[in-house]
A and B are shown apart, each in its own frame.
Chain A
């Protein structure tokens, strides 16, 4: 070969190549997509500018008190704005129609990319338009007053929307506990089914489940007894000291009038808990099954016990706090611990699942897909959590007339926030999987998504468990920030409870109680992180 060939420069694959290789349909979908997104931004800007951004008030009169309608809210409620939004939606649909034709006809990579980019941009434009439409139907003015310091006007449209969303909240609230119960019941049913249908004798699985259950009952009873004892002692101390305080104040709710009552209540809860502990134990046995398939060796039994210990960590917290039932103070603390647990577990469920998908978007090779994910992640990582909680609770939700309880707002914001952080963790994990894994998988004919689902993500998840657990520990502590939301007494988490007790009784040990509650929950988690990390260092691939 000649030198000429050796020194050939790579052909142009830049913007000019991109433009030269479009066909009519791919061009159309790209520009329609861009147009959709631009229209929704530019149109919004134009309409609001036409109506004015702030109110013109007479000299010396501040905007909060001067009469008249607010131009910003007027702009948002105007039919012009509605037209912009509807046009955006129609344009987005046209984009998709054109793109669908283009998908079957493109003949070059640039045309393919332009088509897909058009579809993604169009979808983003439509999503924003729908969101704004929803916003229009809500209490714009309240939103404006809270955050833009603008006077109240206008009527409230879109009641239908808020009814639906309001009921969705109620439905969700009712559904979640049921879902949890069913999940546990389902797990048990599944294991029983496995045992009944297994080819081999099912003696060993039964033994594990029963053993784990029994171990839990034993440990749980000891814990509850300890709790009961310390509980009644501290009750004694507090009544002695605060004998003539008026207990009909808010904290009187759920308080027991005398120690006997407390003990009766305690014994009752002891029995209830014996059952609950057994449930935990059985669940632990079930978990070890799910982790390892059939139980065949002692090693598997050890795994079961370890899984049991993990669940014990969670139960531990509940057990101790619940055990201190005998004073009004302690009762609130146990509530608080529950609330802390519920807030962090529910937040983690949203955050860990959402974060996985977010990380996949953030790693897309297409900038139009990547950009929204990046914006989301940077926004949630770049603003303080306490701002996010306050903004959602005090601004967004009331303004949108959403019937979401502060408790649920807290869970949602904690989850959304965690999603951003865990997305980065997942990304690191997925990118740490050797390139050869994806290549081997694609070589077998699996698609990109299948490869992620069956090959990459399962491996990555194992690697990111320790950092994810760390995020979880942080989340547990961050639940204390929801105190800015003005939760009711029964909704307060540990810190909120501690603070309330202190202000009612001036018993400064309340602060220590809150700290103890947090430690009881976080220390086992921290311990688990250490164990998992050690196991991973020792080269064992499985961490459960």
Chain B
């Protein structure tokens, strides 16, 4: 935790890609066990914001604090910090040359320094948790999209992270596979995991989210309890966006 009781704090984040001004001064504080849902039109900077939290994108200006460490400080060991936050991508990004279980054990062994046996035990436990213990020896190409994404989630969870970041985890899935992944995410939220979720699944945002952020053109335009925002959007841009997606 940071000094002020938050797990993640972004202070005045600005980000440019060349001349493109993508994040225009973001302040955000996330408390432990909170589930923050991020919505907004395409290109509004949601992914960039999410990727700033684990420093996959380096902010041009501003500070990122995670668990008492300033990640934007030049001498911070980012690998150490990243070992404590998991990220799930739209395109799964499983390692295709490794079996499902090896996808999980790689970082357990190389980053956390577990022995092979310990790592395999923990990985099996985690695969079991997402209902895929029978697929441990399959390669990613032998799994369905939903199964791949669940392995990817298990891969992140096996590290026992303090924070999970989801970037449109269900967008690449066939409709009938979406619910199995959302189910895993919902269970996780109920177990008390701190989560930041970028999603187009408004049902999920309403049911599972504690807080909803609406982003447009690189800024957080509106935030609040999901049900309130859906029912009474205050901002014009929120209204027009919600009218399109709901």
Chain A residues engaging chain B, CB cutoff 8 angstroms: 1, 5-11, 13, 104, 106-109, 111-112, 434, 436-437, 439-447, 450, 454-455, 458-459, 462, 541
The chain A residue sitting closest to B78, CB to CB, is A442
In the complex, the number of residue pairs spanning A and B with C-beta atoms less than 8 Å apart equals: 97
B9 at the interface (CB under 8 A from A): no
Residues of B within 8 A of A9 (CB): 19
Decide if A11 touches B24 in the complex (CB within 8 Å).
no
Q: Is the CB of B156 within 8 A of A11?
A: no
Tell me the chain B residues, 89-129 only, with Cβ under 8 Å from chain A: 89, 91, 93-97, 106-107, 110-111
CB-CB nearest in chain A for B108? A444
Do A1 and B155 have beta carbons less than 8 Å apart?
no
What CA separation (Å) do A5 and B219 show in the bound complex? 10
Assess A459 versus B96: contact at CB under 8 Å? Given A111-B74, A447-B79. yes
The residue of chain B having its C-beta at the shortest distance from the C-beta of A542 within the complex is B97
| Nearest chain A residue, comparing its CB with the CB of B82 | A445
A446/B74 in contact, CB under 8 A: no
Residues A439 and B93 in contact, CB atoms below 8 Å apart: yes
A105's nearest neighbour on chain B, judged by CB, is: B75
Q: Is B236 an interface residue (CB 8 A)?
A: no
Assess whether B24 is in contact with A5, with CB atoms less than 8 Å apart.
Answer: yes
Footprint of A on B, CB under 8 Å? 14, 16, 18-19, 21, 24-25, 54, 56, 60-61, 73-75, 79-80, 82-87, 89, 91, 93-97, 106-107, 110-111, 139, 141, 152, 155-156, 159, 217, 219
Q: Find the A residue at minimum CB distance from B221.
A: A1
Q: Which residues of B contact A442 (CB under 8 A)?
A: 56, 79, 82
- Contact call B97/A541, Cβ cutoff below 8 A: yes
A444 touching B83, Cβ below 8 Å: yes
Q: Whole-angstrom distance from the CB of B111 to the nearest CB of chain A?
A: 4
* CB within 8 Å for A436 and B89 given contacts A443-B82, A444-B111: yes
Q: What are 17 pairs between A and B in contact, CB < 8 Å?
A: A1-B24, A5-B24, A6-B21, A8-B21, A10-B18, A10-B19, A10-B21, A104-B75, A106-B75, A439-B93, A440-B152, A441-B95, A443-B56, A446-B106, A447-B79, A454-B110, A459-B96
B167 to chain A, nearest CB (A): 10
Cross-chain contact A445 with B89 (CB below 8 angstroms): no
Are B156 and A444 in contact, CB atoms less than 8 angstroms apart? yes
Q: Is the CB of B106 within 8 A of A444?
A: yes
Closest to B19 in A: A10
Q: Provide the bound-state CA to CA distance between A9 and B139, in Å.
A: 47
Q: How far is the CB of A102 from chain B (nearest CB, A)?
A: 11
Q: With A450-B110, A454-B106 in contact, do A462 and B18 touch (Cβ < 8 Å)?
A: no
A455 pairs with B79, CB closer than 8 A: no
User: Please, which residues of chain A bring their CB within 8 A of the CB of B21?
Assistant: 6-8, 10
Q: Which of A108, A436, A445, A541 has the most CB of B within 10 A?
A: A445
The 4 closest A-B pairs by CB, nearest first: A445-B83, A440-B93, A444-B107, A10-B16
A440/B54 in contact, CB under 8 A: no
- Interchain nearest-CB distance for B190 vs A (Å): 24
> Smallest CB-CB separation from A440: which chain B residue?
B93
Q: B159: which A residues are within 8 A, CB to CB?
A: 444-445
**Contact between chains at B74 and A443 (CB < 8 Å):** no
A residues in contact with B82, CB < 8 Å:
442-445
